[in-house]
């Protein structure tokens, strides 16, 4: 996926922060805060996000000691101090973001399809954060997994969470196909859902779509680093560029979803039962995302 071109004024402010010592950053933040009030959306929204992000990390860096350098930092602390501020200030208005091992609705619907009505309902896949729409039945468009404490370097946890994201994104696409069963397949093919995986102080952005029947395409589309200290100011502009691009990608997904649902409603109103090419024809019940092989004990150790 292509990175979105940043507005010149946003670039100028990022350059203004680039070569500043920590004391001067606060002065620049005062200037930017006043300037934000003089602008209008969408530029205002982007500048406000830049201000909030720098403000959050500058406040953490001025603490003594800097909490982000604590080698005993837990996963929950990293989410609260660093990950959550980067995302919650990015997605507002038409989106809602939930944190704290939230059950994925799309996976819950899939897990309960064949459960008897009298049986206990199974919860959805537990995820660190979920971004969903306030409208359209709360359709989920993005999931986020933080793979362990930032200084643990647990590669097994990283692998498990990556598979978990794949399964969650597949469930999300399948649910869209079912909700828009009478929609146009060419619109459905353009729809992408996203996953973010944080490992240490680096984040990976994944996307999944179904460009052809039964083909779930999962790919890494970008990465960004999470700042720990003022020494990381040099690459903060790259991080913000990636995050602003991700916001545009998610907005495009929301627009494609609306088009798909409208096409489904229009087809239903025309009185046709089955569309010539339906999103339901693209999803697979038998094709599954990769799973971690079960560990088998050696007979001698059984």
In this prediction, residue 280 carries a pLDDT of 74
In this prediction, residue 159 carries a pLDDT of 95
* 104 vs 129: CA distance, rounded Å: 9
Return the residue matching tokens 């997994």: 145
The length of the chain in residues reads 302
Q: Note whether 176 and 279 are within 8 A (CB).
A: yes
Residue 172 phi/psi, 5-degree rounding, is -65, -45
In this prediction, residue 118 carries a pLDDT of 46
CA proximity to 237, closest of 3, 5, 2, 11: 11
Which token pair is 180? Answer: 């828009």
Q: Note whether 192 and 221 are within 8 A (CB).
A: no
* Beta strands 193-199; 140-146: pairing state: parallel
Q: Note whether 210 and 283 are within 8 A (CB).
A: yes
* 22 vs 233: CA distance, rounded Å: 10
CA proximity to 98, closest of 87, 109, 108: 87
Q: Cα–Cα–Cα angle for 92, 93, 98, nearest 5°?
A: 50
Q: Cα–Cα–Cα angle for 28, 32, 35, nearest 5°?
A: 145
In this prediction, residue 111 carries a pLDDT of 61
Across the chain, which has 302 residues, the per-10-residue mean pLDDT values are 90 85 85 92 93 94 92 95 93 88 77 53 73 90 96 94 94 91 90 97 97 92 95 91 97 95 73 58 55 54 52
């Amino acid at each position: 996926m292509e990175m979105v071109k940043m507005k010149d004024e946003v670039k100028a402010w990022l350059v203004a922060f680039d070569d500043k010592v920590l004391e001067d950053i606060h002065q620049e933040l005062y200037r930017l805060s006043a300037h934000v009030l003089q602008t209008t959306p969408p530029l205002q929204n982007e500048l406000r996000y830049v201000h909030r992000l720098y403000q959050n990390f500058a406040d953490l860096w001025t603490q003594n000691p800097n909490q982000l350098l604590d080698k005993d930092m837990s996963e929950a602390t990293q989410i609260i101090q660093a990950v959550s501020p980067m995302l919650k200030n990015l997605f507002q208005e038409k989106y809602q973001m939930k944190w704290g091992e939230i059950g994925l609705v799309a996976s819950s619907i899939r897990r309960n399809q064949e459960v008897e009505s009298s049986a206990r309902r199974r919860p959805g896949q537990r995820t660190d954060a979920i971004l969903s729409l306030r409208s359209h039945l709360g359709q989920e468009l993005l999931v986020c997994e933080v793979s362990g404490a930032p200084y643990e370097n647990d590669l097994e946890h990283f692998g498990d969470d990556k598979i978990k994201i794949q399964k969650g994104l597949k469930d999300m696409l399948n649910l869209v196909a079912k909700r828009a069963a009478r929609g146009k397949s060419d619109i459905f093919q353009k729809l992408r859902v996203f996953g973010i995986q944080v490992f240490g102080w680096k984040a990976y952005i994944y996307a999944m779509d179904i460009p052809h029947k039964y083909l779930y395409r999962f790919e890494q589309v970008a990465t960004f680093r999470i700042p720990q200290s003022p020494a990381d100011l040099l690459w903060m502009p790259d991080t913000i560029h990636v995050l602003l691009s991700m916001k545009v990608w998610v907005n495009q997904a929301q627009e494609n979803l609306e088009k798909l649902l409208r096409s489904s409603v229009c087809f239903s109103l025309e009185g046709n039962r089955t569309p010539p090419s339906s999103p339901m024809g693209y999803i697979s019940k038998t094709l599954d995302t990769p799973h971690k092989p079960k560990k088998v004990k050696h007979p001698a150790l059984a």
